Amino acid sequence: MDTQQQQSAIKGAKVLMVGAGGIGCELLKTLALSGFEDIHIIDMDTIEVSNLNRQFLFRRSHVGQSKAKVARDAVLRFRPHISIRSYHANVKNPEFDVDFFKQFDVILNGLDNLDARRHVNRLCLAADVPLVESGTTGFLGQVTVHVKGKTECYECQTKPAPKTYPVCTITSTPTKFVHCIVWAKELLFAKLFGDKNQDNDLNVRSNNSASSSKETEDVFERAEDEDIEQYGRKIYDHVFGSNIEAALSNEETWKNRRRPRPIYSKDVLPESLIQQNGGSQNCSVADDDSTVSAMPSLGLKNPQELWGLTQNSLVFIEALKLFFAKRKKEIGHLTFDKDDQLAVEFVTAAANIRAESFGIPLHSLFEAKGIAGNIVHAVATTNAIIAGLIVIEAIKVLKKDADKYRMTYCLEHPSRKMLLMPVEPFEPNPSCYVCSKTPLVLEINTQKSKLRDVVDKIVKAKLGMNLPLIMHGASLLYEVGDDLDDIMVANYNANLEKSLSELPSPVINGSSLTVEDLQQELSCKINVKHREEFDEEKEPEGMVLSGWTQAPATNGESASTSNNENVSDVTESSSGPEIASKKRSFSETQPENHKKEAENIESEDEDLMEIENPMIVSKKKKRVE
């Protein structure tokens, strides 16, 4: 296709972008400057102060506004002749169904979570529309092309459970306890006890983006003669009360989310704590400062005990008092250390109070200590590179130039003097339950496990279905939807509390379930195998799902699994000379340092994707050759 034909294809293309964050801003700009004239954008998020260092279409005056709408308006200022339509909504909303996706020539993803990526992948398969997937984490990034029947789909290879958390989620809209842990450790602890000069904005901003940063600094600055307990209450009221109220003023943010509850110390704690627990005089102190603890003075001994809101509040104040009373010289230089008992107590208490505010289940000190992890910050340059690669692959898709499709990896350190490593995409995995319809196997105690366990732990958590329908033969066991009458809802809810063998159509050893998601137009079979006992440590869920795809084994090595899920080993048979002629390895081997930089990456960038190990890519290329 010559240049004129290529420009004609670009101008006539209708493109859907999902995500208007770090990658999305760069991508929208690049699409507009490349000649695309009909672009649609979906993003449910609003702009946060923390976005401004890399999402260049946004300014401080935009804080609290829709990312999709502001990005659209910004690009139209320098490309006023093109059509850009924005949707401030969740891509999983019912209006974005298969028919909606069918109107586009290509879908371009810049998402921040595995669940949404899987949802878009399934809609693209159902609509038979090509998908260009992407993600970044620090200096690493990748772009992959997924075309139904020609390349593997996004779910053909196992994706590790993400250990990465968007900045805006951490600061504004936490939904998991780990979000609260990261907030307490990386923001609050660092603000109070770490480097005072570091850039750290603890405020959950409202539409009033002009709120003074000086006012925030005054809150965290303790006067020499200020009572430590009063200072602790001031911090408590600011981060758990005032900041939450400020966030609630932005109605747009909470339209489709659960609203948090502001918490103030006067509502939880007695007027004075000194007489109640003896203050910090009775604290546990040893020669090693890392053993200082707030628990003994509060009568808390068991780290596996679940503290309530009052206990967490007491620990929060007591731990803060101890830092100033016993470790004052360290303040300003501290960083979180999981072996620092007082630091762990403070972070656990702060995370639990925040979790209580946002309606998230609380965790014990023991659990909280094991959750915290490192963070890799977002790099704007990586986002720009990945956005350019997305557009390159999108143009190939529009030209139907399948032989030139590439999965491209952006590396932190050069390999063979190159920072970009392109490889040919793989063919569909015959073991993929999403695009190849391979049955799954569920080992479960059919007499003890309830249908609710299957729905929550398997159908929703592992298979990622949003509106599931479960059938056993011709019997409909469970369904969700707005069109159900009260009697049907009551019957399905009753089924949820029954064991599998007690259902109207009993599910026993050898039964076969059909599970569907009508919104995603996805259907799969689950063959049930009864099993009496499970290892509580290795199989804590009391059930094992096998047959969902994982990286195939090579040279007798079993493929690894993620998130401690029990997955049976899956190996691919030789694909024969026909596939071999289509598959060529770009690089047979990769240095060990690339393996380290591409595996087990944790990041706070909202455009993170699980970066596939280039060494594994190379091995898979060898196998099919």
227 known ligand binder: no
114 known ligand binder: yes
For the record, the structure tokens of 264 come out as 């103030």
128 known ligand binder: no
Which amino acid, residue 301?
K
Burial annotation 37-57 (CB, 10 A radius, 16+ → b, else e): bbbbbbbbbbbbbbbeebbbb
State the pairing for strand pair 407-415/418-423: antiparallel
- The predicted pLDDT at position 160 comes to 64
54 known ligand binder: yes
124 known ligand binder: no
67 known ligand binder: yes
25 known ligand binder: no
Placement of tokens 């003994």 in the chain: 296
- HEC profile of 518-554: CCCCEEEEEEEEECCCCCCCCCCCCEEEECCCCCCCE
20 known ligand binder: yes
517 known ligand binder: no
State the pairing for strand pair 440-444/83-87: unpaired
Residue closest to 552 by CA, chosen among 401, 390, 432, 394: 432
308 known ligand binder: no
* Structure confidence by residue, pLDDT tens digits, 115-149: 899 999 999 999 999 999 999 988 999 999 999 99
- The predicted pLDDT at position 547 comes to 77
Domain ranges of the chain: 3-161+377-430+562-619, 175-359, 440-547
Topology adopted by domain 175-359:
Arc Repressor Mutant, subunit A (1.10.10)
Q: Give the residues of the chain that fall short of pLDDT 50.
A: 203-216, 274-287, 373-375, 549-606, 609-610, 616, 618-625
593 known ligand binder: no
Kindly report the CATH class assigned to 440-547: alpha beta
451 known ligand binder: no
Residue closest to 48 by CA, chosen among 237, 207, 162, 191: 207
- The predicted pLDDT at position 37 comes to 95
153 known ligand binder: yes
For the record, the structure tokens of 296 come out as 């003994």
CA distance 168 to 359: 18
- CA angle, 172 then 174 then 179, to 5°: 115
Residue closest to 586 by CA, chosen among 430, 426, 427: 426
Placement of tokens 């993003």 in the chain: 43
Task: Look up the pTM and report it.
Answer: 0.63
Burial of 418 from C-beta contacts in 10 A (0-12 / 13-18 / 19+): exposed
Contact present, 524 and 439 (Cβ < 8 Å): yes
CATH 3.40.50.720 fits 3-161+377-430+562-619, yes or no: yes
- The predicted pLDDT at position 138 comes to 85
500 known ligand binder: no
The verdict on whether 168 is a catalytic residue reads yes
110 known ligand binder: no
CA distance 378 to 25: 14
CA distance 520 to 127: 10
The strand order across the sheet containing 131-137 reads 83-87, 38-42, 15-18, 106-109, 131-137, 140-146, 407-415, 418-423
- CA angle, 161 then 165 then 171, to 5°: 155
Burial annotation 584-603 (CB, 10 A radius, 16+ → b, else e): ebbbeebeeebeebbbebbb
Contact present, 35 and 79 (Cβ < 8 Å): no
Catalytic residue of the set 124, 168, 283, 524? 168
73 known ligand binder: no
Q: What is each CA distance from 9 to 75, 581, 616, in whole angstroms?
A: 21, 30, 35
Residue partners of 620: CB distance under 8 A and separation at least 6? 426, 551, 552, 554
Over its C-alpha atoms, the chain yields an Rg (Å, rounded) of 26
Contact present, 408 and 142 (Cβ < 8 Å): yes
